[in-house]
């Protein structure tokens, strides 16, 4: 606006020339400041290594994105700005909306999602979101990091923490956790549940006579044979030393006894080859089932242990069941 414009504004509004000039100068400064701020935000978005999306939290429309996000989610910037976050996030729309509400309210800023990429693959991502003012309206800015490696490491650690290193079956902690979970499920639905305790007969002789490597070979062979005979919903775990546990959801005591008889027969027929020769193994097995009056899984474990003791005192290489 030049001097003539200022004079015209003074005449038409009656506002003093100095005031109008100051207002014009303030507006110009504000425009320059906004332009610099926009350039700075744009620069920061494209320097940052993360993919960045600016999203309308009401509609889920993508309002802006940096170059990393364009490469990740679309073939070009124009294509990405026609998309909705619901096309990228694999969660149901209602859950996406709920997460955006949390981020807008600043009650939560870190989320773990799975995102569909431009090439069609689905990737684990860490998303850090928060509210900003964008083009005069409330929006969400999301910084997105590839979480594939972290998730893979977490899965490996979880497996290591729940798996017996020698046999590959679940360890004692995992077995007992699954037993507790299945017991609660059985009580809730009034479904049968059985558990068995297995002890390899005279296993100490194997270690003492043939060495620990031969003993390890027997343990691995027994675990492999038993697991092949079980359903996907069953669990075979090593509880320690030569002792194993079997968890049979949806199986009553009679059916469980029959299952364990087949497993014992398979173990009896098994031959384990070691450098020194061939070894065979038999097992003593105690079986019990959950009762409606059991407060937790402990009583059925005690009954299975009592049945195992009974199998040993009656000559070993046999399956015994205790119902009371």
Residues annotated catalytic, as ranges: 242
Report, in angstroms and rounded to the nearest whole number, the Rg of the chain calculated over CA atoms: 34
Query: 300 with 266: CB under 8 angstroms?
Result: no
The tokens of 49 are what? 């290594």
Query: 185 with 191: CB under 8 angstroms?
Result: yes
- Greatest alpha-carbon span in the chain: 117
DSSP 86: G
Q: Which residues contact 86 (CB under 8 A, 6 or more apart)?
A: 60, 93, 96
Phi-psi label, residue 17: left if phi above 0, alpha if psi -120 to 50, beta otherwise? alpha
Q: Which residues contact 270 (CB under 8 A, 6 or more apart)?
A: 221, 222, 225, 280, 281
Cβ count within 10 A of residue 58: 13
DSSP 191: -
Of 250, 246, 231, 256, the closest CA to residue 191 belongs to: 250
């Amino acid at each position: 606006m030049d001097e003539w414009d200022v004079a015209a504004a003074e005449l038409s509004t009656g506002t003093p020339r100095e005031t109008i000039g100051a207002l014009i100068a303030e507006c110009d400064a504000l425009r320059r400041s906004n332009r610099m701020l926009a350039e700075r935000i744009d620069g920061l978005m494209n320097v940052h290594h993360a993919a960045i999306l600016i999203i309308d939290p009401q509609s889920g429309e993508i309002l802006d994105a940096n170059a990393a996000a364009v490469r990740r989610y679309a073939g070009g910037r124009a294509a990405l700005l026609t998309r909705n976050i619901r096309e990228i996030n694999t969660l149901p729309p209602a859950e996406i909306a709920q997460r955006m509400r949390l981020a807008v309210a600043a009650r939560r800023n870190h989320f773990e999602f799975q995102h569909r990429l431009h090439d069609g693959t689905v990737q684990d991502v860490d998303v850090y979101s928060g509210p900003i003012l964008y083009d005069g309206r409330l929006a969400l800015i999301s910084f997105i990091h590839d979480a594939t490696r972290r998730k893979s490491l977490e899965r490996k650690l979880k497996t290591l923490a729940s798996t017996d290193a020698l046999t590959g079956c679940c360890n004692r902690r995992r077995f007992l956790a699954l037993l507790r979970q299945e017991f609660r499920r059985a009580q809730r639905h009034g479904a049968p549940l059985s558990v068995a305790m297995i002890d390899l007969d005279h296993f100490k002789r194997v270690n003492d006579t043939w060495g620990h490597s031969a003993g390890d070979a027997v343990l691995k062979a027994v675990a492999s044979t038993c697991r092949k005979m079980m359903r996907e919903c069953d669990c075979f775990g090593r509880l320690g030393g030569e002792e194993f546990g079997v968890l049979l959801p949806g199986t009553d005591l009679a059916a469980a006894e029959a299952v364990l008889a087949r497993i014992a027969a398979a173990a009896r027929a098994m031959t384990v080859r070691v450098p020194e020769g061939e070894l065979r193994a038999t097992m003593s097995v105690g079986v019990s089932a959950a009762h409606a009056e059991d407060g937790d899984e402990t009583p059925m474990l005690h009954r299975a242990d009592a049945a195992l003791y009974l199998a040993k005192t009656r000559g070993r290489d046999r399956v015994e069941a205790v119902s009371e």
